[in-house]
Amino acid sequence: MSFQKIFLFDFDGVIVDGIKEYWHSSLLACEKYLNSPYIYVDQKLYKRAPNLFKEIRPSVKYGWEMILIVHEIIKTENPLKNNNKDDFINNYHQNCQRLLNENSWIAGDLQKILDKSRNYQIDKDFKSWVNLHNPFFEIVNFMKELSKRGIKTGVITTKGKIFTEKILKQLNIFPEFTFGYESGTKIKIAEKLSQTYEILGFIEDRKKTLIDIKQNPETSHIPCFLADWGYLKESDRFNLSHEIKLLKLDRIKDLVAI
């Protein structure tokens, strides 16, 4: 049986740099929908994502975590700053759970208000919202080249599917499918896809996700590429297993040979 060939892509950090959008949308969610008594949103905060937010971004797995981070950064009392960021990052997942517990928040509810924030911006000024995303045109062109060669492309992301598709459409990219956070874990999605496609590679900027794929017997055969241009911790670039290749943006064309 001959399977169709396909290349899989993560979205944020691989196809686009969405750091500005995540900051803007999470800040708006905090201001407009979170109803927290511990924050004050100065409008100047919208101008740019602070370096602290960028430094924490590589630890993030799901979008709702961004709201926790933004909330901690903009708190009026005991905010997250450079002098306590290392402890926050080193115990990142425990800290996220602690913040959920302390504030009686539910992760799913935070995701809903993040989506609500995005919908608000899209309805108000779609172009401005789209422009918060900076495309990596090397990847955009690579995806188009694959399509010309008859190789399918698919996007698996923890962003909402509807928002991802809106941006892909603006970039004139139309993958075979797009899976958002609503579809479950990337591992399970890849496992299911491997039953009907010959997966030529998965480009992702979260090292742990690629390790999980390689450790899963059902997906261990998938070639995995860690996006050097994405949201990486400095340590991510080192001690990679030989099964995960560090991919440089200027070497993306080499994958066409696959």
Task: Give tens-digit pLDDT for 145-161.
Answer: 999 999 999 999 999 99
pLDDT for 32: 96
Is the per-residue pLDDT at 239 higher than 90?
no
What span, in angstroms and rounded, lies between the C-alpha atoms of 51 and 173? 30
What span, in angstroms and rounded, lies between the C-alpha atoms of 174 and 154? 9
Average model confidence (pLDDT) for the chain?
95
Q: Beta 152-156 vs 177-179: how paired, if at all? A: parallel
Domains along the sequence of the chain with CATH: 4-17+135-257 (3.40.50.1000), 19-130 (no CATH)
Using CA atoms, how far residue 167 sits from 11, 16, 93, 170, 247, in Å, is 10, 9, 29, 5, 24
Please tell me the least confidently modeled range out of 25-34, 68-77, 203-212, 232-241.
Answer: 232-241
DSSP 182: G
pLDDT for 234: 86
Task: Give tens-digit pLDDT for 39-98.
Answer: 999 999 999 999 999 999 999 999 999 999 999 999 999 999 988 999 999 999 999 999
77, exposed or middle or buried, with CB in 10 Å at 0-12, 13-18, 19+?
Answer: exposed
Task: Give tens-digit pLDDT for 179-202.
Answer: 999 999 999 999 999 999 999 999
Q: What are residue 103's DSSP bridge partners? A: none
| Tokens (6 digits) for 184 | 């479950």
The amino acid sitting at 115 is D
Is the per-residue pLDDT at 2 higher than 70?
no
What span, in angstroms and rounded, lies between the C-alpha atoms of 252 and 250? 6
Q: H helices within 77-155, ranges in order?
A: 85-90, 92-103, 107-130, 137-148
Task: Give tens-digit pLDDT for 13-30.
Answer: 999 999 999 999 999 999
